[in-house]
Structure formats: C-alpha cells, structure tokens
C-alpha cells in the first residue's frame, strides 16, 4: 500500500509525463477515487473514446478494462492507447466468443447482430450495429421491423430493451458478475431503511432490480440525473466506484450503494503507480489490427450515424416523467 508521500510523488510525476508525452488520462466511472482525480476525463466507456477523438493528444492512457482500450484504439487509430494493467479484462465480454457468435448467425441467417459496446473488437467486427447502455433501446428501435435481432452479450440489458420495444430478440446468455451481486431482497431492505431515496439502477442489473427502479440508466446518465434531481437521497444499483464522483459533485446529497460488495476487481487494477509506469515506458499498448479495426469501426459508426439524443439529457427526463416500470 503506497504511502501518502508516494502517492503525491506519483501524481507530480504523472503530471510531468503527461505534458512531456502529450498524453491524456481517461478514467471510467468505476475506477478508484485517486485514478478519477488524476484523470482529464471521467465518464462512461464510449463517451471517453469520443472525448479523446476531440483532443490533439498523441497518447491515451485508458484507465478502464481491455475492451474500452480497444474501442479507443478503433476510434483513435493515430493515437497510442495504453492500458496500465493488461490483466484488466471484462468477465461479461469474455463470455461471448467469435465462434459462438458465428454459430448464432448461422442458426439465424435473417437476424441482425446488435452488440453492446462491452465486447471485444473481434465481436464488434462480426456485428451489424453497436449500442451502449444509454442508447440500446433507441438503437434496437432503429433496426428494420420484421428482422430478428441477435443481442450480445448481456441478457439483462437485452431483456430490458426487449420489454420496452417488443422486438423479436435472441438474447445471448451473458451477464455482468458484479451487477449480479445486486439482489431484490437487498434493494427492498435499503428502501425500507431509506424510504425517501430514489432507486437508480444500471440496465445490466437483474430485471428484478431494474423493474423496481425510479431510473434505469447508464453510468453517465446516472451522474447527470442525480446532480439535477431535486431528491436528496439515492440508492445506486451499480458498481460502487461511481459513488465517488456522485458524492464529490453533490456534497449535499446522500448516496447508498445497493450492495457494498458490487466491486469489479478488473476495474480496480489500475492505480497511480501503474499509470506512472505506463507513461514512463509508453507500455502496455493496446492496438487493434487494421483488418479488425476497420470492420469493428463500421457498427460503431452506424450507431453514431443515428445521431441519437446525447445521454446527458435522458436520465433527468426519465426522473421528471416518473419512474420506469418494466
């Protein structure tokens, strides 16, 4: 465990190296507090890669997990993308392989493939379109009627979208182990303890949880919505790392983790020491090969071409319009 002096030294060195390397640091909302504090941008997976596009940085240090760094590489091919710890994977993304997806496509030749951005570059390359947790419903609604939709890999996000759209969806049996820690009984107990609190849940949560929520939203929608809501108490049903940002930006509000054990070990692998080492060596680099990058870029671009409403506004609208009920 680094001492305070060591942390301060790492911070000063990171700032020096950032300027020297013309680098930016991106941190997902689930990262450790000290990583969020040193980052240039803190946000959700795709949003961070898009922010990087708008900068003149030569180097991107992505403090997240592997598929996020891959997405940054896909969207920023001229920039060097670093992932401080290559062991930072994603259990859900690893549940679907190219062989499995190709088999699904063979069994359902008329189906379109919609892949969640929480997938590897190879899976994106075999997809027709991508979606995020904030726009999944709108992406699915944009697809031609009468065509079945293979949705990978998260069955809970897929089921949540299916319940809202009524579309014919073939849901792959994948899930996020961290969101599986969020259980209906624990939610009910917290709501009895904090009756004034609004329940805000990520759509990767089990349907039993999301169906009870006042708002079902992506991480960035959550952050925006709780900041603008008049409510003073919130139960947050997602990975606990997001609470740091919420508490920092809303010191007058109370936030309760739906489960204190909902901690992603992969997200917590990045730290100040590894960020410093990564900037020093410009390693480990995540580079998607051109042949895969070009094919993986296409479904992401199809999603972006839909020009869907930006995620910042959606969460607040949902809270104003009353609770979502699945």
152-204: pLDDT as tens digits:
999 999 999 999 999 999 999 999 999 999 999 999 999 999 999 999 999 99
Domains 4-90+267-288 and 93-176+300-305 share a fold: yes
What are the beta bridge partners of residue 278?
none
- 307 — pLDDT class (breaks 50, 70, 90): confident
Q: What are the extents of the domains in the chain?
A: 4-90+267-288, 93-176+300-305, 179-263+311-320
Please tell me the distance from the alpha carbon of residue 56 to that of residue 171, in angstroms, as a whole number: 39
- CATH architecture type of domain 4-90+267-288: 3-Layer(aba) Sandwich (3.40)
Class of domain 179-263+311-320: alpha beta
For domain 93-176+300-305, the CATH superfamily is NadA-like (3.40.50.10800)
**Calpha distance 268→266 (Å, rounded):** 5
Provide the whole-model pTM.
0.91
The pLDDT assigned to 58 comes to 98
The per-residue pLDDT for 152 is 98
pLDDT, tens only, 207-266: 999 999 999 999 999 999 999 999 999 999 999 999 999 999 999 999 999 999 999 999
Q: How many CB atoms lie within 10 A of CB 93?
A: 25
Confidence (pLDDT) at 2? 63
From residue 181, alpha-carbon distances to 53, 214, 231, 287 in Å are: 34, 19, 26, 33
Cβ atoms of 218 and 133 closer than 8 Å: yes
- Interatomic CA distance for residues 143 and 301, integer angstroms: 15
């Amino acid at each position: 465990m680094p001492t305070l002096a060591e942390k301060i030294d790492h911070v000063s060195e990171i700032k020096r190296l950032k300027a020297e390397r013309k680098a930016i640091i991106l941190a997902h909302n689930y990262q450790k507090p000290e990583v969020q504090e040193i980052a240039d941008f803190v946000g959700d997976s795709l949003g961070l890669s898009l922010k990087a596009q708008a900068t003149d940085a030569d180097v991107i240090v992505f403090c997240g997990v592997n598929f996020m760094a891959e997405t940054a590489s896909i969207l920023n091919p001229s920039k060097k993308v670093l992932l401080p710890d290559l062991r930072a994977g994603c259990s859900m993304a690893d549940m679907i392989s190219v062989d499995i997806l190709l088999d699904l496509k063979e069994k359902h030749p008329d189906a379109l493939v919609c892949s969640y951005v929480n997938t590897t570059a190879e899976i994106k390359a075999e997809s027709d379109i991508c979606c995020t947790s904030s726009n999944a419903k709108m992406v699915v609604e944009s697809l031609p009627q009468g065509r079945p939709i293979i949705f990978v890999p998260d069955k809970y996000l897929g089921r949540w979208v299916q319940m809202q759209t009524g579309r014919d969806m073939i849901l792959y049996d994948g899930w996020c182990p961290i969101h599986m820690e969020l259980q209906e009984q624990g939610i009910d107990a917290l709501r009895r303890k904090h009756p004034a609190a609004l329940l805000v849940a990520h759509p990767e949560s089990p349907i039993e949880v999301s169906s009870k929520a006042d708002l079902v939203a992506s991480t960035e929608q959550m952050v925006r919505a709780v900041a603008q809501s008049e409510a003073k108490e919130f139960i947050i049903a997602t990975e606990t790392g997001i609470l740091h940002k919420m508490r920092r930006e809303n010191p007058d509000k109370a936030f309760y983790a739906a489960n204190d054990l909902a901690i992603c070990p992969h997200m917590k692998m990045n730290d100040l020491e590894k960020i410093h080492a990564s900037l020093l060596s410009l390693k480990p680099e995540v580079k998607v090969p051109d042949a895969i990058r070009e094919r993986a870029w296409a479904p992401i671009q199809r999603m972006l071409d839909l020009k869907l409403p930006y995620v910042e506004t959606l969460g607040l609208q949902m809270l104003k319009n009353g609770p979502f009920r699945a």
